[in-house]
Every structure is written in structure tokens, then in C-alpha cells.
Amino acid sequence: MKFSLPGVAAVAAALAAQGVSGHYIFQSLAAGSAKGTAFEYVRRNTNHNSPVTGDRSTDLSSPDLRCNVGGATGGSTKTLTLNAGDAFTFTLDQAVYHQGPVSIYMSKAPGAAADYNGSGPWFKIKDWGPDFSSGQAVWTMSDRYTSNIPRCIPSGEYLLRIQSLAIHNPGATPQWYISCGQVKVQGGGNTTPSPTASIPGAFRASDPGYTANIYTPDFKSYTVPGPAVFAC
Ligand SMILES: *[C@@H]1O[C@H](CO)[C@@H](O)[C@H](O)[C@H]1NC(C)=O
Ligand SMILES: [Cu+2]
């Protein structure tokens, strides 16, 4: 068998064709703290490069901000059944390595989560913002993020959306790392979650949490973009 050394461009093209890139993606969702299977309950993005960036990054009116490029429909994605109050975990292919907040949102599907494109109202159930207790910002940069379905929300099918907003490069446009899981919530309550926001619409280029320079000495507080976190 004969081997040749491919050029850098050929290697890059081969990696791109395999969907391998230097970026991270939230690729699995499972009950409890389990790791789960890649893209079983998470919609598969088609940009092969998790951040919604480049031309799209400045377009805060893009519907791709809902569930990433290619995530508008369920395709072969399955829907994970969880009880209200249950823990769930999103796992990445590699740990988040850009500073910035990680947030989880939900939006109730009119019918099946698999048929829903996320055009309805979204509410936020979790923020991981910076911890300033050491005197400087410490971000939660993990390969998995665990949270709970709020106990009081109505039963039904939902999109469960996780977002890493990468603000590591002040002056440049932040990058969005987004995935949507599909869940069926059972045993829920009667509380209508609020506040809600539309995506796109929830994020503005003027948001202090969008324009923040995390490297200045006076970076001592931070407001995560989007609506306030809903709690029962
Ligand atoms: C999403 O679904 C809604 C309701 O069915 C539809 O009006 C809208 O055109 C769809 N697409 C986008 C990008 O919002
Ligand atoms: Cu990056």
C-alpha cells in the first residue's frame, strides 16, 4: 500500500468533510447525569462548525439562533421523556473553551417537539454566569451541564435549548454555540412560565452582556443576555 503526505489544505478539507472542527458542540442530552448518545435527542446541526458565526453572527435576527444551522426541524431526532423536576444533562464533544455564559431555555411545542421550529415564546431556566468571588471572573467551562426541568411547568413537549455565548474576543462579534434537544415533560403543573422572549429577538447587539470586555480590570459584574431565569 502506498502512502503520500497530503497537503495542509487536503487535510483541512478531509477534516471538514468528516465534520471535525476545532469548535465544541452540545451533542447529547440524557436524563439525570448520564452522557447519552450523540444526536439521539439533540437536533443535528448542518454547519459542521458549531458556532453560528461569520455572516450570521452579526445577524441577531437569524432564526438559526434558535436551534443552530439545520436545527429547525427534528429530522430523525428522538424525544426524551422526563418528569417535571427531573435532572437532565447536555454533554459536549469537548469542554467549552471560550469564556462566556451558558444558558438553558425551553419553548413549548404546539404539538410534537419534532415538528416545532421554535417560533413561539421561550423562557430561560438556567444561567451559568461568571463567579467573581475570587476577585476575578471564573466561568463554568465544562464538558457537561446538568440542570432540572422546572417542577411547575405544564406537561407537554418542549424544545430544550442550550447556548454558550462566547465573548472571549472583545471587539469581535460573539459566537453562539447552540443545540436543541427534544423533550416530553410529564407530571407537570399549571404555571405559565414567564418572562418569555422570542428567538430571534431576545438578544440585542447593545446588551451589556454582549458587548462586555471580560479582560478589563473593572470587569466586576456581568448580566447574562436574555430574559430573567424563570423559577417555580
Ligand atoms: C416556523 O413555524 C411557524 C409556525 O408554523 C411558521 O409561521 C414559520 O414560517 C416557520 N419558520 C420560521 C423560520 O420561523
Ligand atoms: Cu472558537
* Concatenated DSSP letters of 212-223: --TTSTT-----
Residue 21 has pLDDT above 60, yes or no: no
Which is the closest atom of ligand 1 to the Cα of 63? 13
Instruction: Indicate whether 176 belongs to any domain.
Output: yes
pLDDT number for residue 59? 83
| Cα 85 to middle of ligand 2, angstroms | 33
Question: Is residue 91 a contact partner of residue 26, using CB atoms and an 8 Å limit?
Answer: yes
Q: Is residue 207 a part of any domain in this protein? A: yes
Query: What SS3 class is residue 201?
Result: coil
pLDDT of 109 reads 98
The domain in which residue 202 lies consists of 23-211
Tell me the per-residue pLDDT of 159-198, one tens digit each, with 9 for 90 and over: 999 999 999 998 888 999 999 999 999 999 999 999 999 9
Q: Provide mean pLDDT across the span 101-127.
A: 98
Rounded Cα distance between 97 and 169, Å, is 12
- Mean pLDDT on 63-69: 94
Atom of ligand 1 lying closest to residue 116 CA: 2
C-alpha 185 – ligand 2 centre gap (Å):
33
Is there a domain that residue 31 lies in? yes
Instruction: Please tell me the pTM assigned to this model.
Output: 0.90
Does residue 53 form part of some domain? yes
- Lookup result for grid cell 431555555: 105
Report the nearest-CA residue for atom 3 of ligand 1. 119
Taking residues 75-88, what's their average pLDDT? 97
For atom 8 of ligand 1, which residue has the closest CA?
A: 119
The pLDDT score that the predictor gives to residue 58 is 63
Q: Please say if the pLDDT value at position 155 is more than 80.
A: yes
Among all bound ligands, the one having the nearest atom to the CA of 99 is: 2
Q: What ligand has the least distance to the C-alpha of 176? A: 2
Q: What is the pLDDT of residue 67?
A: 97
The yes-or-no verdict on residue 6 having pLDDT over 60 is no
The CATH number given to whatever domain includes residue 101 is 2.70.50.70
Domains held by the chain: number:
1
Q: Report the C-alpha gap between 11 and 184 in whole angstroms.
A: 41
Round to whole Å and give the CA distance between 16 and 220: 39
User: Which ligand neighbours the alpha carbon of 100 most closely?
Assistant: 2
Residue of higher predicted confidence among 54 and 145: 145
What's the pLDDT score for residue 225? 97
174 found inside a domain? yes
> What's the pLDDT band for 53 if we cut at 50, 70, 90?
low
The pairing of beta strand 175-186 with beta strand 156-166? antiparallel
**Averaged pLDDT, 108-131:** 98
Q: Per the domain annotation, does 220 fall within a domain?
A: no
Looking at the predicted structure, is the pLDDT value of residue 96 above 60? yes
CA of 56 relative to ligand 2 center, distance in Å: 15
Does residue 170 belong to any structural domain of this protein?
Answer: yes
Overall average pLDDT of the 98-116 stretch: 98
Q: What proportion of the chain, given as a percentage, has pLDDT over 70?
A: 88
CA 160 to chain centre: 9
Specify the residue with its C-alpha closest to ligand 1, atom 9: 119
Q: Please tell me the predicted confidence (pLDDT) of residue 22.
A: 63
Sole residue written with cell 416545532: 116
Q: Is residue 12 part of a domain?
A: no
**Cell numbers that stand for 154 in this block:** 405544564
Q: Cell for 153?
A: 411547568
- pLDDT at res. 192: 97
Mean pLDDT of 108-133: 98
Tell me, what's the pLDDT at 50? 75
